[in-house]
């Protein structure tokens, strides 16, 4: 196998040569490595540096990059596992050449985690993590980290796959990035509570083609009961943009408060807060002292999620502007006006056109229309909107 050396953070490691002419170069090599996930790995390094687990299991290592980075950049005891023998050999070689001592295993993650517990466990499979969560919770002490790259099933674009994997009915609507993330959280919650354990989401986000969640696990039936109480639904009006959140395992059908039409349940979903503000604050604080290539993107992400409301859906303000037949004004102005009028309002971290607020759709539309009367120079306004959206791409 032809190898090349690459560097992420302060860690050097070998990866197999990829075919750059292939439509997905990471898939062209015998062992997986995706340079586009560097920010995801940088965030893992920051998270581990802040929560300081006693040990970290990179349960699905491939090249071993995640575990190698945690060992080198966080100084935590690390085990790296992959059931694939070629991956195991590459991880051994990388561990020998480049980093503090790590334990390397070549096991099926299910049997490994049935035998012993690790204080923190990272699950980073191809596609859906759903088949691995039961084992991950069994074998995890305090901190669980999960990546899902099957955004099409989570976001309702592949509805049947979403139903099969997550026992939920995802919706392919304007706020599917948010509900995709929360569908995964509710699934992990249900897989955890059966062990009389609970989850506390600490740092969860949706980005491009993946969602990533970091949790604390808690050991008690009362923590499990509190976790169950966070599961519920969005009831989305079938006629207008109106929607409500409703806790409970079974949706109770009601009529839309805004137009009286029927409502459709989306879920089950995790409702409410998905960040721990103190963890995000601590990660922001250490960001400057670590050598990370994606520092600017992470800094923007932390700023956005620090400010973001914990509502389970958002309004796409371009879509609302279309309903109102007006050209969209800058989102920052809409947020400022809603706040002045006593509503909560924020952006969402995953989209430049997402508006989170407790104001009803008709209130937002009224504000959008008022601004139309007040603002001049549509071209410059459009340009500044475009700039805001481009920051997210």
Ligand X SMILES: C[S@@+](CC[C@H](N)C(=O)[O-])C[C@H]1O[C@@H](n2cnc3c(N)ncnc32)[C@H](O)[C@@H]1O
Where along the sequence are the contacts to ligand X (CB under 6 A)?
Answer: 32-33, 37, 41, 60-63, 65-66, 81-84, 87, 108-109, 124-126
- 140 φ, ψ to 5°? -115, 135
Closer residue to ligand X in complex, CB, 34/227: 34
**Residue 328 touching Zn ion (CB under 5 A):** no
Neighbours of 270 (CB within 10 A): 26
Question: Considering only 63-71, 99-107, 241-249, 364-372, which stretch makes contact with Zn ion by CB under 5 A?
Answer: 241-249
Q: Which residue has the tokens 């062209």?
A: 28
60 binds, among Zn ion, ligand X, none (CB under 5 to 8 A by kind): ligand X
Closer residue to Zn ion in complex, CB, 199/237: 237
Closer residue to ligand X in complex, CB, 32/215: 32
- Indicate the SS3 state at residue 386: helix
256 binds, among ligand X, Zn ion, none (CB under 5 to 8 A by kind): Zn ion
- 350 φ, ψ to 5°? -105, 0
66 binds, among Zn ion, ligand X, none (CB under 5 to 8 A by kind): ligand X
Spatial CB neighbours of 103, under 8 Å, sequence gap ≥ 6: 78, 79, 80
* Nearest approach, Cβ of residue 298 and ligand X (Å): 16
* Nearest approach, Cβ of residue 339 and ligand X (Å): 39
Closer residue to ligand X in complex, CB, 81/246: 81
**Residue 242 touching Zn ion (CB under 5 A):** yes
d(CA 189, CA 194): 9
* Nearest approach, Cβ of residue 67 and ligand X (Å): 8
Side-chain half-sphere exposure of 251, counting CA atoms within 13 A: 18
d(CA 173, CA 164): 19
β-sheet bridge partners, residue 232: 247, 269
Neighbours of 182 (CB within 10 A): 33
240 binds, among Zn ion, ligand X, none (CB under 5 to 8 A by kind): Zn ion
* Nearest approach, Cβ of residue 324 and ligand X (Å): 43
């Amino acid at each position: 196998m032809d190898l090349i050396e690459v560097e992420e953070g302060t860690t050097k490691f070998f990866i197999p040569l990829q075919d750059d002419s292939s439509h997905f170069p990471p898939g062209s090599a015998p062992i997986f490595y995706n340079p586009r996930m560097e920010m995801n790995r940088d965030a893992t390094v920051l998270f581990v540096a802040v929560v300081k687990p006693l040990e970290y299991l990179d349960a699905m290592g491939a090249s071993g990059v995640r575990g190698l980075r945690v060992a080198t950049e966080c100084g935590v005891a690390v085990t790296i596992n992959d059931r694939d023998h070629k991956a195991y050999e590459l991880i051994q070689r990388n561990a020998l050449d480049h980093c503090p001592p790590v334990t390397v295993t070549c096991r099926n993650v299910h049997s490994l985690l049935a035998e012993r517990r690790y204080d923190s466990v990272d699950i980073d499979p191809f596609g859906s993590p759903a088949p691995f969560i039961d084992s991950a919770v069994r074998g995890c002490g305090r901190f669980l980290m999960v990546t899902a790259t099957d955004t099409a099933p989570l976001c309702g674009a592949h509805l049947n796959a979403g139903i099969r994997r997550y026992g939920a009915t995802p919706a392919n609507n304007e706020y599917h990035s948010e509900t995709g993330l929360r569908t995964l959280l509710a699934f992990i919650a249900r897989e955890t509570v059966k062990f009389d354990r609970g989850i506390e989401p600490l740092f969860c986000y949706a980005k491009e083609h993946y969602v990533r969640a970091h949790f604390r696990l808690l050991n008690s039936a009362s923590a499990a009961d509190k976790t169950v109480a966070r599961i519920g639904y969005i009831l989305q009006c079938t006629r207008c943009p109106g929607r409500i959140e409703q806790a409970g395992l079974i949706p109770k059908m009601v009529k839309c408060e805004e137009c009286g039409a029927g409502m459709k349940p989306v879920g089950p979903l995790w409702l409410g807060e998905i960040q721990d503000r103190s963890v995000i604050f601590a990660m922001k604080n250490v960001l400057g002292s670590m050598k990370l290539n994606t520092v600017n993107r992470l800094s923007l992400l932390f700023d956005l999620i620090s400010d973001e409301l914990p509502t389970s859906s958002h309004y796409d303000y371009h879509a609302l502007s279309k309903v109102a037949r007006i050209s969209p004004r800058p989102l920052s102005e809409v947020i400022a006006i809603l706040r002045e009028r006593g509503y909560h309002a924020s952006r969402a971290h995953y989209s430049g056109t997402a508006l989170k607020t407790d104001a009803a759709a008709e209130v937002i539309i009224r504000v959008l229309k008022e601004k139309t009367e007040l603002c001049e120079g549509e071209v410059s306004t459009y340009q500044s909107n475009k700039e805001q959206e481009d920051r997210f791409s």
